[in-house]
Amino acid sequence: MPDVELCPGCAARVPREEGPTHRYLLAAPACWRIYGEVLARRLEAAVIPPDRYPVDAYAVQHPGVPGQQSIQSVAVHLVSLGLMFERGATPQAATRAMATLISANKGKFRWLEPPTSVGGLTVIDAAAAGSDADLDRLVAEWARSAWDAWSPHHVTVRKLYPVS
């Protein structure tokens, strides 16, 4: 059995390995690698419109430690998920809202204490999908799981939504 570790971000059990990780998202090298593989698979499947779910889910499941970039990242990725799940925003609209939010609030975001569990599904679950249809379903479920895990902060996040 290969040596495993818990990812410090999402707590998924992943192979212990050396390799690159993200600059401020706190992730095990294997988790970061598997995330890249899932994104590549989504690109190969020509997911249109452009994907937001895996990017947003991964970011909020790997919040890092308090710092300007990680604080902003969690806030805007939660806003993106919230807009898509609660307001039915398209990925393009969520991306535009994120850009507007960042330009209007750079350096003004506050640390949101991560929940004890960042969700019952992780990138590892998405990576295990057999077919592209299964991957689509699992990515959406993973994103919903990540959004739901942050429910203690939903009121705060909703205050960041653009006025509609």
82: number of CA atoms within 13 Å, CB side?
23
- Give me the pLDDT at residue 162, please: 86
Residue 74 to residues 47, 68, 94: CA-CA distances in angstroms?
24, 10, 14
Each domain of the chain, given as residue ranges in start order, spans: 4-158
Report the pLDDT averaged over residues 9-14.
98
Q: Which residues pair with 14 in a beta bridge?
A: 5
Q: 80-102, pLDDT tens digit by residue? A: 999 999 999 999 999 999 999 99
Q: 16-74, pLDDT tens digit by residue? A: 999 999 999 999 999 999 999 999 998 887 765 568 999 999 999 999 999 999 999 99
- Give me the pLDDT at residue 164, please: 63
Amino acid letter, residue 148: D
- Give me the pLDDT at residue 163, please: 77
Q: 144-164, pLDDT tens digit by residue? A: 999 999 999 999 999 999 876
Burial (Cβ within 10 Å: 0-12, 13-18, ≥19) of residue 121: buried
pTM for this structure? 0.95
- Give me the pLDDT at residue 107, please: 84
Amino acid letter, residue 73: S
